[in-house]
């Protein structure tokens, strides 16, 4: 199944020959990369904070609370901590990327209005 290699190569070669990116497209790609990098940085920062904020109470509870001591093995502790970190990362990265995209959209609208 799939596209035969000869047709795929012909399509890729033909596609690259026809398409010439405009400066506006290059700017959009650059802005998208910057937004993604900004989202990754913010997500990693908040994931680190969430890791510490969830690790301390989890590890203390396992040492102090009898139920937690009996029922939360190392895997459960790791899952609790990593779930909080992963959620913080993706939520923050998503919000940051959307905010950046909204900012870029407003900037492009303003530039279009000036051009008219």
**Which structure tokens are listed for 70?**
């009996």
pTM of the model: 0.73
2: left (phi > 0), else alpha (psi -120 to 50), else beta?
left
CA distance 88 to 51: 9
pLDDT of residue 17: 55
CA distance 17 to 15: 5
Backbone torsions φ then ψ of 115, nearest 5 degrees: -70, -25
pLDDT of residue 3: 63
Low-confidence ranges of the chain (pLDDT < 70): 1-4, 7-8, 10-21, 116
pLDDT of residue 19: 63
């Amino acid at each position: 199944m799939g596209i035969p290699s000869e047709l795929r190569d012909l399509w890729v070669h033909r596609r690259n020959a026809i398409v010439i990116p405009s400066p506006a497209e290059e700017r959009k790609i650059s802005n998208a990369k910057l937004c993604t990098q900004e989202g990754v940085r913010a997500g990693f920062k908040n994931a680190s904070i969430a890791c510490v904020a969830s690790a301390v109470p989890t590890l203390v509870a396992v040492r102090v609370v009898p139920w937690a001591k009996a029922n939360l093995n190392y895997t459960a502790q790791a899952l609790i901590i990593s779930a909080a970190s992963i959620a913080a990362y993706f939520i923050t990265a998503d919000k940051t990327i959307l905010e950046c995209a909204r900012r870029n959209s407003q900037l492009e609208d303003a530039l279009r209005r000036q051009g008219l």
